[in-house]
A and B are shown apart, each in its own frame.
Chain A
Amino acid sequence: SVQDGSSNNAKTLSSLQVDERRAPLKSWANACGPKECWQSVVDESRMALIKMEPERRWVCIWSSACVSPLMLSSPPFCGADGCMEESVFLYPHGLQGLHSLQALVPSLLRREVEMALEKLDLIFDHTYAWELFLDMMESQKHHTLSNADLPQHFTDATRAILVDWLIQVHEMMHFQDETLYLAIHLLNRSLRQVKVTTANLQLLGIVCLFIAAKKEECLLPEVSELCSLMDHTYTKHQLLRMERKVLSVLKFDLSYCPPLHFLLLFASIARCSDKVVWMGRYLLELSLFEGQCVVFLPSQLAGAALCLARQVLQEPPTPEGEAAWCLAFSIHIGSEMVLLSIMRILASAAAKAQTQDTCATFIKFSSPETMHVSRHPALNIATGVLDVWS
């Protein structure tokens, strides 16, 4: 839904590329079976008389007295001071007359957010757009983990290999991006809660992807297909048992605000160029490999990825562009320190992406459809770009 046509093509093409360059998956080719054998999800509408949309992870809420005051508790934009404080960092080119703009920001921002959500097709009803945004900002707080520690017998490297494999399967299945972000989110949580041996790690991973697909997708692969994808290392019974286990351990908490939605929202308000957006998407997807990133809010990951993308590409600034950028980042997502530390993680991930074994994302974003962003030469020295600020 968020994707445009070209990115779908991009996926097909880049998965072909993957095929040529590496032979990463067992039975890779078998798994690309004909679509007819997929189960289709009949999405009957919950309420016949009401205009229905596929279920999204944010359900609409209203702002009357009945709703819990929780979601309104943190103002989404910072005060004048906060904005000025961050301006050094976010608007390196400076912006004259920022003070006079301050007063306009809230209403302007609100309109921009509403327009962007509508443009991105993330809402089903314009009148709820702002509430939805506040809800996104608030509910994402439920979606971080308190620390980056993995159970002892797992390392970040093992996790990265699994993520890399899941990204390839995800791409091969032509799933939506939301499904990938949800799957890795479920994986991060279940890794900490389900007791699995290293031998069953792949099973856990595919089940997280399968559950994410059940939540998000219209077409689902058959379980037998998933099993053959893993060279029948596990039986269908084992897979279904793991599904019940994961759902139970997660208490069916499957709602998630993917960082990608924040990225697209910020980029749309900031009037970012296509290239900046692709670069941002690339850097954001790299965050999935980084175990340390699980402690950050989705909006922080998105904001940092976009800032870094802009920094790397160094497109010539325009007054309109600067103003739009400033407006987008008047949304308070976190301290400069937090954003900077995420940018460092992403910059160093990008610098070494090409040489890693886990390079599914690098390859995905090296296609012409993604504007070859992962091969941008400035990424090799991206960490240097950031040093200027420290």
Chain B
Amino acid sequence: MAHATSIQYEPVAEIGGGAYGTVYKARDTESGQFVALKSVRVQTDQNGLPVSTVREVALLRRLEQFDHPNVVRLMDVCATKRSDQETKVTLVFEHVDQDLKTYLERAPAPGLSPERIKDLMKQLLCGLAFLHTNRVMHRDLKPENILVTSQGQVKLADFGLARIYSCHMALTPVVVTLWYRPPEVLLQSSYATPVDIWSTGCIFAEMFRRKPLFCGDSEVDQLGKIFDVVGLPPEEEWPTDVTLSRKNFPPLLPRPITDVVPEINGQGAQLLQKMLTFDPLKRISALNALEHPYFQDEETLTQTKS
């Protein structure tokens, strides 16, 4: 099989390396299309591929059937042996020319127009709502994992992989960015789909600011930067299952979100606030966010269904 894969997909270039392995651009020799190959090394024992890997990848393939416009296509999956203890699972995605990071960097001088931002946000939330209703969370949402096609269509990448990685992989020592992490993850409390909404909020702000919202260099520093803006949460909202005490942080009051994102309009500021809510249970859901008045006015041209 290793052989067959390497024949079908001819590597063209290395796209980049994340925490979990390298992404290659390759050409599918059967169709001529470009693809992105992402390999995951999975620890295997004498009973073969771990159950969690089998189920998670099967779920990603199941999602494929819906052909959602805001989710990157997973065209093929391949399992090859590396050693008795390790199997390589290669995920073959459609190749998309740029990610949101480059897209933002390349936007000419005053940045993206408010309409463009609204459209991107709508597509992003649509993709997220789709994943969340299918009980898949991203957990690592950031501009690098949001792809934008040359037609401006948003496609989420790398969702559902976090669990495949975390169970059976020795992480390569790469610094994983903390900037889009929600408080519950930074505090190592339990978490669920609201994590992605926090990250989306950070990205929403970044689209206006053209620089990241909270740039911490450690967990505590990141939390400090967050409380700087959203204020120190009340005692009763502080999760009980965490070691870090609320007393480690100065008693700050929330600042108006427009202090840090001055370009945003009223409705947008309100939505952003609901996304950057400390308590994950009170944070707005993807589906409700799509219903928010921010998206209601007509001027937006949407590409959620291309």
Residues of A near any B CB (own CB < 8 A): 39, 41, 44, 46-50, 52, 55, 57, 59-62, 64-68, 70-71, 139, 142, 210-211, 214-215, 220, 222-224, 236, 239-241, 243-245, 247-248, 251-255
Contacts and interface: CB of A to CB of B under 8 A. Distances in A.
Contact of A61 (B134, B137, B163): B134
B292 interface: no
A16 B6 CA distance: 49
Interface of B: 1, 5, 44, 46-49, 51-52, 54-55, 57-63, 65-68, 70, 76-81, 87, 126, 129-130, 133-137, 163, 190-194, 280-281, 287, 290, 304-305
B55 A55 contact: yes
B58 A49 contact: no
Contact of B61 (A50, A68, A210, A254): A254
Contacts of B47: 39, 220, 222-223
Interface core residue of B57, B62, B77, B129 (most chain A CB under 10 Å): B62
Contacts of B136: 46
A247 B126 contact: no
Given A49-B280, A247-B79, A252 B57 contact: yes
Given A214-B51, A241-B81, A59 B134 contact: yes
A137 to B, nearest CB: 13
A255 B126 contact: no
Nearest to A39: B47
Contacts of B52: 44
Majority DSSP secondary structure for residues of B touching A = mixed
Given A50-B192, A252-B54, A67 B68 contact: yes
Contact of A59 (B57, B81, B135): B135
B77 A248 contact: yes
A78 B135 CA distance: 32
Contact of A68 (B54, B66, B134): B66
B135 A46 contact: yes
A220 B49 CA distance: 12
Contact of A251 (B61, B134, B287, B290): B61
Nearest to A245: B1
17 contacts: A46-B135, A49-B194, A50-B193, A68-B68, A70-B67, A139-B65, A214-B51, A220-B51, A239-B48, A240-B81, A245-B1, A247-B79, A248-B5, A248-B77, A252-B57, A252-B58, A254-B61
- Which 7 A-B residue pairings sit nearest by Cβ, starting from the closest? A49-B192, A48-B190, A47-B192, A254-B58, A244-B79, A255-B62, A252-B57
A222 B45 CA distance: 11
A47 to B, nearest CB: 4
A59 B62 contact: yes
Contacts of B65: 139, 142, 255
A301 B59 CA distance: 25
Contacts of B81: 240-241, 244
A68 B68 CA distance: 6
A215 B304 contact: no
A82 to B, nearest CB: 27
A39 B52 CA distance: 13
Contacts of B61: 251-255
A255 B9 CA distance: 26
Contacts of B54: 211, 214-215, 247, 252, 254
Contact of A46 (B66, B67, B163, B281): B163
Contact of A215 (B1, B58, B133): B58
Contacts of A254: 54, 58, 61
A211 B48 CA distance: 10
B251 to A, nearest CB: 27
A57 B51 CA distance: 15
Nearest to B4: A248
B129 A66 contact: yes
A41 B51 contact: yes
B48 A248 contact: no
Nearest to A213: B51
B137 A46 contact: yes
B291 to A, nearest CB: 9
B46 A67 contact: no
Nearest to A62: B133
B1 A248 contact: yes
Interface core residue of B48, B67, B287 (most chain A CB under 10 Å): B48
